[in-house]
Amino acid sequence: MAKHDPDLSRVFHALSDPTRRAIVAALAQRPLPVTALARPTGLSLPTVLKHLACLEEAALVVTEKQGRTRICRLHPAPLAVAEGWLGAQRTEWEARTDRLESYALALMKEART
């Protein structure tokens, strides 16, 4: 039952923090260097770097050093994976409610005879 899926765990964990979600949202618009990401958060640079490391471990962000600045880009594939998992659960749930509904309809039809 409990298939340990380290990827999903890392992605969901990365997205569970508002600072990291803000970083993802910013990088969805355009690549940015670390300092530009840090400024609007009001957090210290080392703190933001830790958040970035967390996002990189989840493969949500890739970075590349250019001279003395590090450019960060969004890597959207894990977003799609997470989205797929969520959709699958919703689909399962909806399939069950559909089965319940048709069962209820069948009962009503039978009661009418």
- List residues near a second copy by CB under 8 A: 1-5, 8-10, 12-13, 15-19, 21-22, 24-26, 28-30, 40-41, 74, 76, 79-80, 82-83, 85-87, 89-90, 92-94, 96
Residue 16 or 69: the one with the smaller Cβ distance to a second copy is 16
Look at residue 102 and give the partner it binds from DNA, a second copy, none, a contact being a CB closer than 5 to 8 Å depending on partner kind: none
Spell out the SS3 assignment of 51-112.
HHHHHHHCCCEEEEEECCEEEEEECCHHHHHHHHHHHHHHHHHHHHHHHHHHHHHHHHHHHH
